[in-house]
């Protein structure tokens, strides 16, 4: 999110800024100077910075997604959210935590206490057990994801889908050729080939032109998914070329 692109009148009435890095769906990571700027802006404007750090432990090649609290001054303005979903393969268990100063955490506690009563204690106990197994589980699990990432990048590249190699998260954010809408591509891939990817447009207009792959399957299955995606890409490219040729012929006929 480029703060300079936010209109001044929106900025003037902004009370909360939500940021998520490493990012789902783009896999983008935030440089430290960017985070410093964000914290500075939030302090100047008295904005609460909600920092979603769900992928804090899903970094590759030695990259460690930073906590917002590594940035000077963040303690006064930020609350950081973590989740067991990614680090411990506990997606759907709905277990995580938030870290903030007593004033900010107290406000969340107040809102939460009027909304629900917290997660079932059995799941909380499982969360504790997971955290206690960090050393046995997390580095090896990360190595599995790194191997899947490498397999996914290579397999999709071989089918004509080049993308940046993500340094964090479990996602590839892959550009589509101009003229191929992400929803149409994802629909055809699902209907004709039985492969599910997320169309970028599903995340908002800014995501158009991309699709997201979650590398949450074995390298073999990912390679098969990439092969099928290549079939759809070539079919849609051929359709597009045929349409363009028909248009040119029609124009020529008219003139």
Ligand X SMILES: Cc1ncc(COP(=O)(O)O)c(C=O)c1O
Q: Is 159 in the site for ligand X (CB under 6 A)?
A: no
Among 41, 67, 85, 124, binds ligand X (CB under 6 A): 85
User: How far from chain centre, in Å, is Cα 190?
Assistant: 21
| Segment near ligand X (CB under 6 A); pick from 88-96, 138-146, 191-199, 221-229 | 88-96
Least separation in angstroms between residue 8's CB and ligand X is 28
Neighbours of 49 (CB within 10 A): 24
Least separation in angstroms between residue 190's CB and ligand X is 20
Q: Is 24 in the site for ligand X (CB under 6 A)?
A: yes
Least separation in angstroms between residue 53's CB and ligand X is 8
- What are the C-alpha distances in Å from 205 to residues 29, 56, 199, 209? 21, 27, 11, 9
CA distance 43 to 156: 43
Among 91, 109, 113, 241, binds ligand X (CB under 6 A): 91
Q: Which residues inside 27-66 make contact with ligand X, applying CB under 6 A?
A: 52, 54
DSSP secondary structure code for residue 164 in this structure: P
Cβ(138)–Cβ(86) under 8 Å? no
| Segment near ligand X (CB under 6 A); pick from 72-80, 90-98, 151-159, 222-230 | 90-98
Among 96, 175, 209, 219, binds ligand X (CB under 6 A): 96
Q: Which is nearer to ligand X, 83 or 201 (CB)?
A: 83
- What are the C-alpha distances in Å from 46 to residues 15, 35, 58, 85, 152? 7, 16, 31, 31, 42
Q: Which is nearer to ligand X, 32 or 94 (CB)?
A: 94
Q: Is 182 in the site for ligand X (CB under 6 A)?
A: no
The CA radius of gyration of the chain, in Å to the nearest whole number, is: 22
Q: Is 87 in the site for ligand X (CB under 6 A)?
A: no
Q: Which is nearer to ligand X, 91 or 241 (CB)?
A: 91
CA distance 187 to 181: 10
Q: Is 83 in the site for ligand X (CB under 6 A)?
A: yes
CA distance 138 to 87: 7
CA distance 223 to 220: 5
Neighbours of 187 (CB within 10 A): 13
Q: Which is nearer to ligand X, 39 or 54 (CB)?
A: 54
Least separation in angstroms between residue 84's CB and ligand X is 7
Q: Where does this chain bind ligand X (CB under 6 A)?
A: 20, 24, 52, 54, 83, 85, 91, 94, 96
């Amino acid at each position: 999110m480029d703060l300079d692109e936010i209109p001044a009148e929106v900025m003037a009435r902004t009370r909360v800024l939500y940021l998520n890095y490493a990012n789902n769906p783009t896999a983008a990571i935030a440089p430290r100077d960017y985070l410093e700027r964000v914290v500075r802006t939030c302090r100047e404007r008295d904005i609460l910075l909600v920092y979603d750090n769900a992928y804090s432990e899903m970094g590759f090649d030695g990259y460690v997604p930073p906590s917002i609290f590594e940035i000077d001054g963040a303690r006064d303005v930020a609350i950081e959210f973590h989740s067991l979903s990614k680090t411990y393969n506990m997606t759907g268990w709905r277990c995580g935590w938030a870290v903030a100063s007593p004033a900010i955490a107290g406000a969340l506690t107040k809102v939460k206490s009027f909304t629900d009563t917290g997660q079932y204690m059995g799941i909380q106990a499982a969360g504790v057990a997971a955290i206690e197994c960090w050393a046995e589980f997390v580095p090896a699990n990360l190595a599995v994801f790194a191997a899947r990432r490498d397999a996914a990048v290579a397999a999709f590249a071989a089918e004509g889908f080049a993308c940046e190699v993500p340094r964090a998260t479990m996602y590839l954010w892959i550009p589509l050729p101009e003229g191929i809408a992400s929803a149409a591509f994802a629909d055809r891939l699902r209907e004709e080939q039985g492969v599910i990817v997320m169309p970028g447009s599903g995340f908002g207009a800014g995501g158009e032109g991309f699709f997201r792959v979650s590398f949450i399957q074995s390298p073999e299955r990912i390679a098969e998914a990439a092969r099928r995606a290549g079939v759809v890409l070539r079919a849609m490219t051929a359709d597009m070329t045929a349409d363009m040729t028909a248009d040119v012929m029609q124009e020529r006929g008219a003139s």
